[in-house]
Chain A
């Protein structure tokens, strides 16, 4: 086949091109022709097709995501906002923290181990590209029904992929979530988060400036991995004709990534880098066009200099390849030798593949012939934008009218006891240690809190004890019932989780997992959820620093529950002041903070006992969340509480059982007068936490709550070897532990 050069393209305007196969729509192809004033070459078409895919261009979500910027709260802590590889937050004492959560859903369904592993690798490189040393990872996961045969294929693969990659890198995995629901059967959600730390002066941005500066590709060789992964895989629905078109699965190599991390941090330290970008989805197409687009000039690349794993790859394939463990740096000519020397020391292949020019075009050559000549902004930042139609689904009213309050409730203490055991043992509420035990949680020696604690926490300065805490939350059931409220509840829970450990929430990242944007009902869910999240962030004063959108999570016509996952990052001045969740001291008093209303819509109880989803999710009160957060942080700082646990799915009883099992102590609970015991135990009202208060601090603590107007109700005491609800039932810790811990090993062990 003859090389499709720019010249050749101009001479053969009518040559048929496979734009549809590459996932482009007719009008998009026409637009490319209009931009270039001719038909694109094969290489140009390849670049546009991957960069204009849903995954890279956010073409369906962009109009809604703008709110995160427009409604961003004023926040001095934000050093770098949305748009870069990851946002950066001021952690104090000269430290900056960067974090981001991303999806790797579709690859993880096809090849669970490698899909999940490369998800970790990708997010780690994003953090690295900001100039930060990655210090921890977390993985929010969603699978189909726990007892479905395919879950037995997907879950163990995903878990060992995350563990395999993260453990080899030497990064602690400090938290995340695992949720089971039949709606994720054909579309598991594998989200990956990474946190990195640097000094303020070390922040690096992705742009190519300064004519004459060299473009260096370093890391692994380029192979046929994941060609078209973003355009075909992440941007279309699976159908029965899928397998033939499926691209080669990307395989991760964590040891190569470890070298890449150390090598990159060393070139940063010696100040050898002008701009940098990791290679992820859309590979070199993305890195070159984004670097050039964000910089001041153009760029010229000699594509035949790219080191290949498979010499038969065509230029189009090289541009689209998603081979892992690669980075692209912009380096001043005088610093190139030193840069290459450092790469060689780390056994990392590095090649000068081009240079920054003073033109305005991205020009790519193949053995001296020009195959790409495009304005880089049209590829990277000025892709199509769709105002997709959206409409509230017809079934929404019926769903909300199907109130969980009418479900039969336990009538006796004995029935209540049985249902508590069932909820505690249900896959969603049960202990996740079978999973998190496969991750290295304490490597590097800075982890002070990890799963099952409310948030993961790592120390970032050994002398002062400065630390960061991160929690991720999302509740697809709530969001299905009311997308606006559901997104805010995810934010509120994550915020509460961070505050419960004593850290001050500063900023958020989000991973928005939804069905097909071509379905107006799904688009409505997306619009409502983003609006809710943006309004929520404004109310809580926590800006969105970045994140990721994953659409087309559906099988046939059935979309997953809308699942916005929210990661909140907080800072704690001294990790020694942290609040754990364990009820460790007998005799301490248990206080329930916040108001308990009868709120059962979307609850764990309604799912486990009645397999029911309907009604409205718990009411959202963000002012209350903020107040609760302030109380939890002050109480932690001043030593007024010894334990705290946020209340979410499963309600008060789930939280008390978890804290009791964690501390090895029982608790006696007293149902407050006038409260229905069932509602007291199982309601999922938001804005609540349970805390253990030493008797000597009781007065000080209740005075503080009273003065600031936060309801604090004494509901019991840490005591004995069982969880007892007075007048209702008593459950020995041993029985609870057996129920709580046996479920996952029985399913997957």
Chain B
């Protein structure tokens, strides 16, 4: 089964009180040098059958209407490959654009 990941983030101009709370806590815990924190949500969808354009379009639709509140949030949809899986579960950071 293939995994499709939907990342949901508040739009950049929207206030993120949770992110701010994390940011304020960091120096108190001795973590210096972080200028900003934004907190989001990640959905991992196990898709039955092939992840073709139709399936992605469906995921896109569910993200737009249900997983994200597009009035205040942006989302991205991507298919997770094996390489990504290694990156996100390992100790190295899984950098993505």
Contacts of B11 in A (CB 8 A): 248
Contacts of B14 in A (CB 8 A): 225, 248-249, 251
Interface contact B13-A253, CB-CB below 8 Å? no
Q: Decide if the interface of chain A is mainly helix, strand, loop or mixed.
A: loop
Q: Which of B12, B15, B72 has the most CB of A within 10 A?
A: B15
Instruction: Kindly state whether residue A114 has any CB partner on chain B within 8 Å.
Output: yes
Instruction: Kindly state whether residue A501 has any CB partner on chain B within 8 Å.
Output: no
Instruction: Kindly state whether residue B71 has any CB partner on chain A within 8 Å.
Output: yes
Instruction: Kindly state whether residue A483 has any CB partner on chain B within 8 Å.
Output: no
Contacts of A309 in B (CB 8 A): 15
In angstroms, Cα B20 to Cα A256, docked, is 11
Interface contact A324-B15, CB-CB below 8 Å? yes
Instruction: Kindly state whether residue B17 has any CB partner on chain A within 8 Å.
Output: yes
Closest to B17 in A: A253
Instruction: Kindly state whether residue B7 has any CB partner on chain A within 8 Å.
Output: no
Instruction: Kindly state whether residue A461 has any CB partner on chain B within 8 Å.
Output: no
Contacts of B15 in A (CB 8 A): 220, 223, 225, 250-251, 253, 309, 323-324
Instruction: Kindly state whether residue A310 has any CB partner on chain B within 8 Å.
Output: yes
Instruction: Kindly state whether residue B88 has any CB partner on chain A within 8 Å.
Output: no
Instruction: Indicate which residue in B13, B21, B24, B69 contacts A310 across the interface (CB closer than 8 Å).
Output: B13
In angstroms, Cα B15 to Cα A114, docked, is 11
Contacts of A729 in B (CB 8 A): none
In angstroms, Cα B16 to Cα A278, docked, is 21
Chain A nearest CB from B15 CB (Å) reads 4
Contacts of B20 in A (CB 8 A): 253
Instruction: Indicate which residue in B12, B21, B24, B72 contacts A251 across the interface (CB closer than 8 Å).
Output: B72
Contacts of A224 in B (CB 8 A): 13
In angstroms, Cα B10 to Cα A223, docked, is 14
Contacts of B24 in A (CB 8 A): 347
Give chain A's interface residue range (CB within 8 Å of chain B). 20 to 34
Interface contact A251-B17, CB-CB below 8 Å? yes
Interface contact B13-A225, CB-CB below 8 Å? yes
The 0/1 profile, CB within 8 Å of A marked 1, for residues 1-36 of chain B is 000000000111111110011001000000000000
Contacts of A110 in B (CB 8 A): 71
Contacts of A324 in B (CB 8 A): 15
Closest to B69 in A: A111
Chain B nearest CB from A157 CB (Å) reads 9
In angstroms, Cα B20 to Cα A220, docked, is 11
Contacts of A252 in B (CB 8 A): 17
Q: Decide if the interface of chain B is mainly helix, strand, loop or mixed.
A: loop
Contact residues of A between 72 and 123, Cβ < 8 Å to B: 110-111, 114
Chain B nearest CB from A437 CB (Å) reads 24
Interface contact A248-B13, CB-CB below 8 Å? yes
Instruction: Kindly state whether residue A255 has any CB partner on chain B within 8 Å.
Output: yes
In angstroms, Cα B11 to Cα A220, docked, is 18
Closest to B16 in A: A251
Chain A nearest CB from B80 CB (Å) reads 30
The 0/1 profile, CB within 8 Å of B marked 1, for residues 335-351 of chain A is 00000000000010000
Interface contact A223-B13, CB-CB below 8 Å? yes
Chain B nearest CB from A110 CB (Å) reads 6
Contacts of B10 in A (CB 8 A): 251
Chain A nearest CB from B21 CB (Å) reads 8
Contact residues of B between 37 and 52, Cβ < 8 Å to A: none
The 0/1 profile, CB within 8 Å of B marked 1, for residues 219-250 of chain A is 01001110000000000000000000000111
Contacts of A323 in B (CB 8 A): 15
Interface contact B71-A249, CB-CB below 8 Å? yes
In angstroms, Cα B72 to Cα A323, docked, is 15
Chain A nearest CB from B24 CB (Å) reads 8
In angstroms, Cα B20 to Cα A310, docked, is 13
Chain A nearest CB from B74 CB (Å) reads 12
The 0/1 profile, CB within 8 Å of A marked 1, for residues 67-97 of chain B is 0010110000000000000000000000000
In angstroms, Cα B16 to Cα A425, docked, is 41
In angstroms, Cα B15 to Cα A255, docked, is 13
Contacts of B71 in A (CB 8 A): 110-111, 249
In angstroms, Cα B16 to Cα A220, docked, is 12
In angstroms, Cα B72 to Cα A551, docked, is 25
Contacts of A249 in B (CB 8 A): 14, 71-72
In angstroms, Cα B71 to Cα A347, docked, is 30
In angstroms, Cα B24 to Cα A255, docked, is 13
Contacts of B69 in A (CB 8 A): 111
Closest to A324 in B: B15
In angstroms, Cα B16 to Cα A383, docked, is 35
In angstroms, Cα B17 to Cα A324, docked, is 11
In angstroms, Cα B54 to Cα A175, docked, is 49
Interface contact B72-A255, CB-CB below 8 Å? no
In angstroms, Cα B86 to Cα A549, docked, is 58
10 closest Cβ pairs, A-B complex? A253-B17, A251-B15, A224-B13, A248-B13, A111-B71, A249-B72, A251-B14, A223-B15, A249-B71, A248-B14
B residues apposed to A, CB below 8 Å:
10-17, 20-21, 24, 69, 71-72
Contacts A220-B15, A309-B15 supplied; 19 other A-B pairs, CB < 8 Å: A111-B69, A111-B71, A111-B72, A114-B72, A223-B13, A223-B15, A224-B13, A225-B13, A225-B14, A248-B13, A248-B14, A251-B10, A251-B15, A251-B17, A251-B72, A252-B17, A253-B20, A255-B17, A324-B15
A residues apposed to B, CB below 8 Å:
110-111, 114, 220, 223-225, 248-253, 255-256, 309-310, 323-324, 347
Q: List 16 A-B contacts (CB under 8 A).
A: A110-B71, A111-B71, A220-B15, A223-B15, A224-B13, A225-B13, A225-B14, A249-B14, A250-B15, A251-B15, A251-B17, A251-B72, A252-B17, A253-B15, A255-B17, A256-B17
